[in-house]
Amino acid sequence: MYIDAYQHRAGMNCETTCMRNVLAVSGVEFAEEVLLGLDGGFGFGYFERRDNGPDIVIGRQQIFSGQAMRLLGVRVRSSQAGGPAILLDHLKHGRPVIARVDLSELPYWNNHGGAPFGGYFVNVVGYEAGQFTVSDAGFEQLQTISEEALNKARSSKRSPPINPENWCHVVDSVCGKADLAKVGYFAVDNCVREVLKPSINNLGMPGLKQFAAGVRNWSQTKTGTVTMQLWSDGANHAVPALFCQLVSLGRAIEVFGTGGGLFRPMWSRFLRIFGDLVGDERLLEAANTMGASGELWTTLGRNLLQVGPDTSQAALQAQLDQVIDTVECIQQLERKVMDGLRSVGPRTALKAASAAPSTSHAHFA
Global pTM reads 0.88
Euclidean distance between CA atoms 190 and 246, whole angstroms: 32
The H or E element containing residue 88 is: helix 85-92
CB atoms within 10 A of CB 70: 15
Mean pLDDT for 146-163 is: 94
The residue ranking higher by pLDDT, 51 or 91, is 91
pLDDT score recorded for residue 354: 36
Question: How do beta strands 236-240 and 120-128 pair?
Answer: unpaired
Residues 57-85: tens digit of each pLDDT: 999 988 888 899 999 999 999 999 999 99
Q: Where are the alpha helices (DSSP H) in 115-259?
A: 147-155, 180-196, 204-221, 241-254
User: Does residue 358 register a pLDDT over 60?
Assistant: no
User: Does residue 10 register a pLDDT over 60?
Assistant: yes
Mean pLDDT for 211-232 is: 93
User: Does residue 89 register a pLDDT over 50?
Assistant: yes
Identify the CA nearest to 133 among candidates 16, 6, 11.
6
Euclidean distance between CA atoms 240 and 227, whole angstroms: 9
Q: What is the largest CA-CA distance in the chain?
A: 61
pLDDT band at 345 (very low <50, low <70, confident <90, very high): low
Whole-number mean pLDDT of the chain?
90
User: Does residue 356 register a pLDDT over 50?
Assistant: no
State percent of the chain over pLDDT 90.
78
Of 29-33, 36-40, 108-112, which range is least confident?
108-112
Is residue 301 within 8 A of residue 259, CB to CB? The reply is no
Cα 228 from chain centre: 23
Is residue 343 within 8 A of residue 352, CB to CB? The reply is no
Cα 52 from chain centre: 25
Is residue 16 within 8 A of residue 32, CB to CB? The reply is yes
Question: How do beta strands 143-146 and 131-135 pair?
Answer: antiparallel
Q: Where are the alpha helices (DSSP H) in 231-360?
A: 241-254, 264-278, 281-305, 313-340, 346-355
Mean pLDDT for 214-236 is: 90
Mean pLDDT for 181-200 is: 92
Is residue 161 within 8 A of residue 47, CB to CB? The reply is yes
Euclidean distance between CA atoms 323 and 301, whole angstroms: 9
User: Does residue 21 register a pLDDT over 90?
Assistant: yes
Residue 4 CA: distances (Å) to CA of 50, 94, 108: 47, 9, 23
Is residue 262 within 8 A of residue 297, CB to CB? The reply is yes
